[in-house]
Amino acid sequence: MSGNTNIDQARHPAADAVAMFFKNKPAIVALFVLVLIIIAGLIGPLLYPIDPFDMVWAPFGLPGEDGFILGTDYLGRDLFAGILHGTRVSLQVGLTAALMTVLIGVTVGALAGYFLGWVEEVLMRITEFFQVLPTLLFSMVIVALFGASLPMITFAIGLVSWPAVARITRAEFLRIRELEYVTASRAAGAKNLKLIFKVILPNALPPIIVQAALMVGSAILFEAGLSFLGLTDPNIVSWGQIIGSNRPYILDASYTVTFPGLAIFITVLCLSLVGDGLNDALNPKLRQR
Amino acid sequence: MHSLFKMMTLAAAATVVLSAPASAQDTPVKGGTMVMTINQTPRHLNPAVQSGTATGVPGAQLFAAPLRYDEDWTPQPYLAESWEVAEDGLSVTLNLVEGAVFHDGKPITSEDVAFSVKTIQENHPFKTMFAPVTAVETPDAQTAILQLSQPHPALMLAMSSQLMPIIPKHVYGDGQDPKTHPQNAENVVGSGPFKLVEFTRDEHVILERFDDFFMEGRPYLDKLVMRIIKDPSARAIGLENGEIHMGTFEAVARDIKRLQAVDSLTATPEGYAAIGPIDWLAFNTATGNTADVNVRQAIAYAIDRNFIIKAIHQGLAEEAATGIHPGSPLYETNVDNYELDLDKANQILDDAGYARGDGDMRFGLTIDFGWPELKPNAEYVKAALKKIGIDVTVRSSPDFPTWANRISNYEFDMTWDTVFNWGDPVIGVHRTYQSTNIKPGVIWSNTQSYQNERVDELLEMAGIETDPSKRAELYSEFQKITAAELPVYWTNTLPYHTVYNNKVGNPPLGIWASSSPMDLMYLKP
């Protein structure tokens, strides 16, 4: 072809989003740190095979003492090993709970936003019911009633966190279902299921993805909160569990809660920055900003 | 060894004045308001129908018992100015102080003593205390004779402190259930040195001097405020800044250590000999791997008492090698001691045929703990037993009833627990080991399902043996057998401390700590 060469190359919106994301420096740094944390969680325990439940040194060994870079806790257990092993558990809880939140939230929100009428009435009343319950107290009750095992804690976090996703999904559905391409699909004979999952949902995804990323962070915080209150499985190390069990010694050995606290802080901050980056990247209206 | 029986027969020592632990140059000062703490909200204030120190500490101020004890386990006259134990040990005569009155001004008579014994027998959870008492005779208003079906050496201790409060028949004998009597918590009509001003749940119990108390000139304090503070650190801060004069039953090592370093405070473990708190690891001896005595012994060899005492209790606790508190004159030191020895522990398990399998583990066990303070102990056992190939799963309970249900229905392998001796073994020790006391659903009964005919026999004989040296021998054999068979593995005394401001004179440092009358306590100017 000759002549007019300044036609804009049509680009896939995802590529646009990726380009946009990589312009956001804090988000890139956060993503990098997050990847490091995930790698540490995956292979860290193999490289540093000290069992976090073994008593390896005198209690309250200071950081750096005898090679234990973060010191030891009240029973002389290696704090670094605890944090490293806890990474996997904390991330696992965060991801699983976020996934559960998205599954419940999207299903409820999509059905309510698509069908309207009594379906919406019923589903949104249920959502509101969960929304007005104090989340921490409600999850404490669940864990106290059914036992403080890791799956139950994850379940409790997921169960109390989905209303936000449901509301966002419903709002998106309400907006998109009236758009012309949806009407066009419907006119072309698309069934409800196809309209929901193939037509509307993909277009409603960006804010949901952002919400899910933030959800991982808040689930990690939630687990830490529950553990801090003692609602935790004592046979599994998580960051919150380390903080919870060392809390009584905070005046004598503050580092035993500082380091796991830092781990939570950094991870949640990174997740939050990445979430912001995704938000900017996936929201086309902000691209000119 | 002190002889309990000699103390009993020494009864006529009627006019002994309680020797104050403070030095002679300190003359008690009258007046003042003292602030102390209790660590839980009492269900109510009537110790006749409720055990536990939350009720007992205010209860022992509101109600007087016939006897009191000094710090050498010697009984002293209190509401009974003298007493006699019959030659055959089958009756005890109490001669009450003349002119003693209840807080409502009505006289305290032998009728009230008889009524109190009956109420305690019918309602108090410690059934063994007065079980042999068949009748209380009241020949005159000042004399009460307790008739016994068999000699009962534990009776002397059971007639002191919070265990035998003399309650007014004309108030609590009105036909209402004593356990839920409205005057258990308000308008309490007591017989003790202090009367009730106000009891507000989760806040405080306020007591004031009872002017017509039967001991002339006592109590010294005008007012005794007991603040109910559950959080140990909050109590510690209150003591540090002088807001609180005294805390008793303090057991958190790091707080005690911190308070010991404060110049204006004294922290002492004295005064808990009769309370007798022991931390122990209890086993389910009926089912599972812990039913095998070899397993229990191996576990005992793998657990380092020293570590628990030095690391968890920061050196404040004392070793306890048997079910009888080391502070008791009946404590036997010459028993199997289970010094840390991993090789031996492994050897025992190998010989008993527990081969190491998956992940180098022989078998798995669960461990529970009665309250949050014992969680480090449970975590320690998990780490310690891993070394001998036992895979331990720590089970946490969301609250006390959940744990109590599990243990008392035998759904456990091992559990940490803290249990009180309550002065005489008959009251606080027998319940754990007697096969007749295996009672589903009852916590602190023989939840280990331990059965040994000789132990049953020994405890039964010791319960009625009046010769102190023979009694000590029976308990000695009992301690040796149980230390060999290990229905529970005792590790240490719970390091209860009394922490008091140096302004406090005569803090309660007898054998019953603050669960005893504090009429001698005063505030230095």
Phi, psi angle pair for B175, to nearest 5° = 95, -15
What predicted TM-score, i.e. pTM, was given to this entire model? 0.79
What would the pLDDT profile of A186-225 be if each residue is shown by its tens digit?
888 888 888 888 888 888 888 888 888 888 988 999 888 8
- The share of chain A scoring above pLDDT 70, in percent, equals 94
Over residues B346-354, the mean pLDDT reads: 93
Predicted confidence at residue B471, as pLDDT, reads: 93
Of A59, A234, A251, the CB nearest to B375: A234
Beta carbons of B382 and A231 less than 8 Å apart? no
Over residues A90-98, the mean pLDDT reads: 91
The β-bridge partners of B461 are: none
Over residues B303-328, the mean pLDDT reads: 90
pLDDT band at B114 (very low <50, low <70, confident <90, very high): very high
Q: How far apart are CA A113 and CA A136, in angstroms?
A: 28
**Domain contains A235:** yes
Provide, as residue numbers in chain B, all residues whose Cβ is less than 8 Å from the Cβ of A54: 383, 386
Beta carbons of A53 and B379 less than 8 Å apart? yes
Provide, as residue numbers in chain B, all residues whose Cβ is less than 8 Å from the Cβ of A144: 398-399
**Domain contains A18:** no
Predicted confidence at residue B43, as pLDDT, reads: 85
* CATH number, domain containing residue A84: 1.10.3720.10
DSSP A10: P
Q: How far is B393 from chain A (nearest CA, A)?
A: 6
Predicted confidence at residue A285, as pLDDT, reads: 64
Mutation choice for A interface testing from B306, B379, B388, B400 by most A CBs within 10 A: B379
What would the pLDDT profile of B132-142 be if each residue is shown by its tens digit?
999 999 999 99
User: What is this model's ipTM?
Assistant: 0.74
Provide, as residue numbers in chain A, all residues whose Cβ is less than 8 Å from the Cβ of B315: none
Q: Quick check: B375 pLDDT over 50?
A: yes
Of A60-69, B58-67, B353-362, B382-391, which gets the smallest average pLDDT? Answer: A60-69
pLDDT band at A9 (very low <50, low <70, confident <90, very high): low
Beta carbons of A251 and B254 less than 8 Å apart? yes
Beta carbons of A245 and B394 less than 8 Å apart? no
Going through B79-177 in order, the beta strands assigned E by DSSP cover 80-85, 91-96, 133-140, 143-148
Q: How far is A85 from chain B (nearest CA, A)?
A: 16
Over residues B487-492, the mean pLDDT reads: 95
CATH number, domain B3-271+497-523: 3.40.190.10
Task: Specify the CATH superfamily of domain B277-493.
Answer: Dipeptide-binding Protein; Domain 3 (3.10.105.10)
Q: Which stretch of DSSP H or E encloses residue B225?
A: strand B223-228
Q: Which residue of B has its CA nearest to A146?
A: B398
Mean pLDDT of chain B, nearest integer: 90
Q: How far is B311 from chain A (nearest CA, A)?
A: 7
Predicted confidence at residue A46, as pLDDT, reads: 84
Q: If DSSP codes are grouped into helix, strand and coil, which group holds residue B107? A: strand
Q: How far apart are CA B248 and CA B160, in angstroms?
A: 19
Of A53, A145, A248, the CB nearest to B382: A53
Of B254, B311, B375, the CB nearest to A252: B254
Q: How far apart are CA A102 and CA B198, in angstroms?
A: 54
Q: How far is A37 from chain B (nearest CA, A)?
A: 27
Beta carbons of A234 and B311 less than 8 Å apart? no
Q: Which residue has the tokens 């305290």?
A: B108
Contacting A with CB below 8 Å, chain B residues are 252, 254, 258, 311-312, 372, 375-376, 378-380, 382-384, 386, 393-396, 398-399
The dihedral over CA atoms of B238, B239, B245, B247, expressed in degrees to the nearest 10, equals 100
Number of domains composing chain A? 1
Q: Quick check: B122 pLDDT over 50?
A: yes
Of A223-237, B85-99, B221-235, which gets the smallest average pLDDT? Answer: A223-237
Q: Which residue of A has its CA nearest to B392?
A: A235
Beta carbons of B396 and A245 less than 8 Å apart? no
Provide, as residue numbers in chain A, all residues whose Cβ is less than 8 Å from the Cβ of B380: 55, 75
**Domain contains A74:** yes
**Domain contains A1:** no
Beta carbons of A252 and B396 less than 8 Å apart? no
Over residues B301-323, the mean pLDDT reads: 91
Of A190-199, B177-186, B275-284, B302-311, which gets the smallest average pLDDT? Answer: A190-199
Beta carbons of A143 and B398 less than 8 Å apart? yes
Predicted confidence at residue A54, as pLDDT, reads: 79
The closest alpha carbon to A165, from A127, A138, A191, belongs to: A127
Beta carbons of B311 and A75 less than 8 Å apart? yes
Q: Quick check: A79 pLDDT over 80?
A: yes
- Count A/B contacts: CB-CB distance under 8 Å: 52
DSSP A151: H
**Domain contains A4:** no
What would the pLDDT profile of B175-201 be if each residue is shown by its tens digit?
999 989 999 999 999 999 999 999 998
For chain B, the domains span 3-271+497-523, 277-493
Provide, as residue numbers in chain A, all residues whose Cβ is less than 8 Å from the Cβ of B396: 148, 230, 232-234
Q: Quick check: A287 pLDDT over 60?
A: no
Beta carbons of A55 and B396 less than 8 Å apart? no
Predicted confidence at residue A3, as pLDDT, reads: 52
Provide, as residue numbers in chain B, all residues whose Cβ is less than 8 Å from the Cβ of A252: 254
Provide, as residue numbers in chain A, all residues whose Cβ is less than 8 Å from the Cβ of B378: 234
Beta carbons of B394 and A248 less than 8 Å apart? no
pLDDT band at A252 (very low <50, low <70, confident <90, very high): confident
Over residues A243-256, the mean pLDDT reads: 83
Q: Quick check: B382 pLDDT over 90?
A: yes
What would the pLDDT profile of B2-55 be if each residue is shown by its tens digit?
444 444 444 434 333 444 444 445 789 999 999 999 988 888 999 999 888 889
Predicted confidence at residue A157, as pLDDT, reads: 92
Q: How far apart are CA A48 and CA A78, in angstroms?
A: 11
Residues B458-484 as b/e (b if ≥16 CB within 10 A, e otherwise) read bbebbbbbbebeebbbbbbbbbbbbbe
Provide, as residue numbers in chain B, all residues whose Cβ is less than 8 Å from the Cβ of A231: 398
Q: How far apart are CA B11 and CA B186, in angstroms?
A: 36
Predicted confidence at residue B328, as pLDDT, reads: 87
Provide, as residue numbers in chain B, all residues whose Cβ is less than 8 Å from the Cβ of A53: 379, 382-383, 386
Mutation choice for A interface testing from B231, B373, B380, B388 by most A CBs within 10 A: B380
Provide, as residue numbers in chain A, all residues whose Cβ is less than 8 Å from the Cβ of B395: 234
Q: Quick check: B404 pLDDT over 90?
A: no
Mean pLDDT of chain A, nearest integer: 85
**Domain contains A3:** no
Beta carbons of A230 and B396 less than 8 Å apart? yes
Q: Which residue of B has its CA nearest to A61?
A: B311
**Domain contains A258:** yes
What would the pLDDT profile of B416-437 be if each residue is shown by its tens digit?
999 899 888 999 999 999 998 8
Q: Which stretch of DSSP H or E encloses residue B223?
A: strand B223-228
Residue A47 token pair = 């490289």
Q: Quick check: B462 pLDDT over 70?
A: yes
Contacting B with CB below 8 Å, chain A residues are 51, 53-55, 58-59, 74-77, 143-145, 148, 230-235, 245, 248-249, 251-252
Of A60-64, B3-7, B288-292, which gets the smallest average pLDDT? Answer: B3-7
Predicted confidence at residue A61, as pLDDT, reads: 79
Residue A76 token pair = 């002389």
| Domain encompassing residue A91 | 23-58+66-287
Tell me, what amino acid is at B403?
A: W
Predicted confidence at residue B24, as pLDDT, reads: 44
Beta carbons of A148 and B398 less than 8 Å apart? yes
Predicted confidence at residue A27, as pLDDT, reads: 87
Provide, as residue numbers in chain B, all residues whose Cβ is less than 8 Å from the Cβ of A148: 396, 398
Q: Which residue of B has its CA nearest to A226?
A: B398
B383 Cβ neighbours under 8 A, 6+ residues apart:
A53, A54, A55, A75, A77
Tell me, what amino acid is at A272?
A: S
**Domain contains A8:** no
